[in-house]
DNA sequence: CGAATAAGAGACGATGCGTCTCTAAGTCGG
DNA sequence: CCGACTTAGAGACGCATCGTCTCTTATTCG
C-alpha cells in the first residue's frame, strides 16, 4: 500500500491534476470530484486548501504557467524589444482557451487584474532604452499609448479567443508586425522613422 | 381568472421577466425557474422557445437593447462623428455588467461576434465623409486602424468591467477624447492636423 | 362543436457544489 | 518508543438547478 502524501508534494499533485483536467475537458466541465479522483485523494483535502472551484483553478494556472512578468528584453531596437514582449505574452495566452478565460472572469472579475496587467516593469525600461538610443523623442508616454500594442494583442485574444491556439508562430508574428508597424511605431517615433 | 397569454405577448412578457431578473440578480443567479415564476408561466413554455438558459438570456438582451448597429452620425467632423459612435456604444455597454458579459462569453463564445463587431456599416461612411472633407488623406484605412477606437473602448470595458456602470457622461467623454486625440487622430490625419 | 394545440403547474432524474463524518496513516512531543 | 494529535483518503449528505416529462385545461381552428 502506497504511503500517504503530504504538504508540497500532495499540493503539487493536486494542482497538476487540476491543470490536466482543464486541458482535457475545459473549465466548465472541471469538477472538484474529478480533480480529487485524478489526484487519488478526497474532496476535503482540496477544500482544506482552496475555498472553492475558482480559487483552485487559479492556483492550478499559476502553478502551471509560472510568473506573469517576462524578462526585460534588450535586442537593440524598440521594435525588437516590443516584439519580444508580445511573443512572451502570446506564449502565455496560448494556454488560455476562451472558455477558461471567460469562465474565470465571470466567476472572479478581479482576476482581470492579472490578465490585463499593463506591465510597466517591462515596458518602461524598453521605452527608456529606445529614448536613449534616440529612436523616440521621449520615454514619457501616456500609459495608454505605452501599453497600446499589449492591449491590442490582448483584445485580439479576447475577440477571437481560441485564435491563439491555432495560430502558428509565423502568423502570430505577422499580427505583431501589423500592430507595431501600422499603429505603434508611427505613433511614437520621430516623424522620420 | 386571467386568460392565458400566447404568441408575441407571452414571449415579450417572458423576455422582460428574464431581463428584470438579470438586472436584479445578475446572470449567474438567473434561474429558468425564476424567470418562469416571474412571468407567471411554466418552465416548459420557456424550453419550447429557447433550448437553454444561455439562449434565453441572449434573446432577452436583444429584446431589451434593440438593434446593435447605430445610425451613421454626420456632425461635420471626423472627431465629432467618431465620438458619436463611441457614445452610442458606451450607452449600450452600460447594460453589460462584467458578470453578464463574461458569463455569456464563457458559455457561448460565438456571442463574441455580436459584442466585438467592427461595424464597417458605420465606420466606413464616416471615414468617406472625412476624406471628402479633406480631413484625412484617404478613407481606405486598414480595418485594424479604422476600428481602433472602437476596439480600445471595448477593451477598456473588458479590462475594467463595471466601469461603465459608474462612469458619468463627462468622464466617459474624457476617455473618448483621450483615445481620439492621443491615438486615433494623430494616426490617420494629415500631419498638419 | 370537436380535435388539435399549447399554457400553466410541478414532479422527476441527473449533476455537482460545498459540508460533514469516519477510519487509519503518519508525525511529534515527552 | 508510545500515546496524542493531525490530516489523508473515502464517500455520504443536503441543496440548488438544469433540462425532461407528464398532466390538466383554456384557447384556437377546421
Q: Is the CB of B41 under 7 A from strand C?
A: yes
SS (H, E, C) A31-93: CHHHHHHHCCCCHHHHHHHCCCHHHHHHHHHHHHHCCCCCCCCCCCCHHHHHHHHHHHHHHHH
What are the DSSP calls for A9-22, one per residue? HHHHHHHHHHHHHH
Mean confidence (pLDDT) of chain A: 91
Report which of B89, B96, B95 is spatially closest to residue B71, judged by C-alpha positions: B89
Query: Under an 8 A CB cutoff, do B28 and A107 touch?
Result: yes
Do residues A38 and A90 both lie within one domain? no
Measured CA to CA, the distance from residue B23 to residue B8 in angstroms comes to 22
What is chain B's length? 193
Average pLDDT over residues B90-118: 91
Q: What is the pLDDT of residue A2?
A: 57
pLDDT of A62 > 60? The answer is: yes
Q: What is each CA distance from A44 to A17, A48, A92, in whole angstroms? A: 15, 6, 31
Do residues B130 and B50 both lie within one domain? no
Measured CA to CA, the distance from residue A155 to residue B168 in angstroms comes to 24
pLDDT band at B191 (very low <50, low <70, confident <90, very high): low
Do residues B100 and B159 both lie within one domain? yes
pLDDT of B115 > 70? The answer is: yes
Do residues B89 and B56 both lie within one domain? no
B72 CA – D30 C1', rounded, Å: 50
Do residues B28 and B123 both lie within one domain? no
Do residues B151 and B176 both lie within one domain? yes
Residue A118, phi then psi, degrees to nearest 5: -80, -10
Q: What is the pLDDT of residue A50?
A: 97
E strand or H helix that includes residue B180: none
The nucleotide whose C1' lies nearest the CA of A41 is: D9
Do residues A97 and A140 both lie within one domain? yes
Structurally, chain B folds into a number of domains equal to: 2
Residue A55, phi then psi, degrees to nearest 5: -65, -35
Do residues B183 and B91 both lie within one domain? yes
Do residues B136 and B110 both lie within one domain? yes
Do residues B126 and B171 both lie within one domain? yes
List, for residues A169-178, the tens digit of each pLDDT value: 899 999 999 9
pLDDT of B190 > 70? The answer is: no
Average pLDDT over residues A66-86: 94
Scan for cell 492579472, then name that residue.
Answer: A114
Do residues B52 and B87 both lie within one domain? no
Q: Considering CB atoms only, which of A27, A106, A159 is closest to B102?
A: A106
**Binding-site residues on chain B for chain A (CB distance < 8 A):** 27-28, 98-99, 101-103, 105-107, 109, 112, 116, 142, 144-145, 148, 151-152, 154-155, 158-162, 178-179, 182-183, 186-187, 191
Measured CA to CA, the distance from residue A67 to residue A48 in angstroms comes to 24
A15 CA – C28 C1', rounded, Å: 28
Contacts of B148 in chain A (CB under 8 A): 183
What are the DSSP calls for B36-88, one per residue? HHHTTS-HHHHHHH-SSHHHHHHHHHHHHH--SSPPPP--SSHHHHHHHHHHH
* A142: containing domain: 78-188
Q: Is residue B73 part of a domain?
A: no
Scan for cell 472558455, then name that residue.
Answer: A99
Determine which of A98, A105, A179 to mutate to test the interface with B (most B C-beta atoms within 10 Å): A105
Determine which of A97, A111, A158, A190 to mutate to test the interface with B (most B C-beta atoms within 10 Å): A158
CA angle B76, B77, B80 (to 5 degrees): 100
B116 CA – C18 C1', rounded, Å: 36
Report which of B85, B92, B86 is spatially closest to residue B115, judged by C-alpha positions: B92
Q: Is residue A38 part of a domain?
A: yes
Give B6 or B96, the one with higher predicted confidence: B96
Q: Is residue A72 part of a domain?
A: no
Helices (H) and strands (E) in chain A, counts: 13, 0
Amino acid at each position: 500500500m502506497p504511503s500517504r502524501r503530504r504538504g508540497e508534494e500532495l499540493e503539487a499533485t493536486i494542482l497538476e491534476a487540476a491543470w490536466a483536467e482543464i486541458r482535457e475537458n475545459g473549465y466548465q466541465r472541471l469538477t472538484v470530484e474529478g480533480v480529487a479522483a485524478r489526484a487519488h485523494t478526497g474532496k476535503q483535502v482540496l477544500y482544506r486548501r482552496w475555498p472553492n472551484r475558482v480559487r483552485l483553478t487559479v492556483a492550478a494556472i499559476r502553478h502551471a504557467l509560472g510568473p506573469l512578468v517576462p524578462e526585460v528584453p534588450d535586442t537593440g531596437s524598440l521594435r525588437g524589444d516590443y516584439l519580444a514582449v508580445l511573443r512572451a505574452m502570446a506564449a502565455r495566452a496560448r494556454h488560455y482557451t476562451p472558455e477558461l478565460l471567460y469562465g474565470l472572469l465571470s466567476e472572479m472579475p478581479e482576476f482581470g487584474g492579472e490578465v490585463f496587467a499593463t506591465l510597466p516593469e517591462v515596458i518602461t525600461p524598453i521605452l527608456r532604452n529606445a529614448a536613449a538610443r534616440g529612436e523616440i523623442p521621449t520615454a514619457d508616454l501616456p500609459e495608454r499609448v505605452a501599453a497600446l500594442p499589449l492591449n491590442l494583442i490582448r483584445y485580439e485574444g479576447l475577440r477571437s479567443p481560441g485564435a491563439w491556439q491555432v495560430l502558428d508562430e509565423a502568423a502570430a508574428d505577422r499580427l505583431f508586425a501589423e500592430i507595431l508597424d501600422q499603429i505603434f511605431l508611427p505613433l511614437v517615433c520621430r516623424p522620420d522613422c
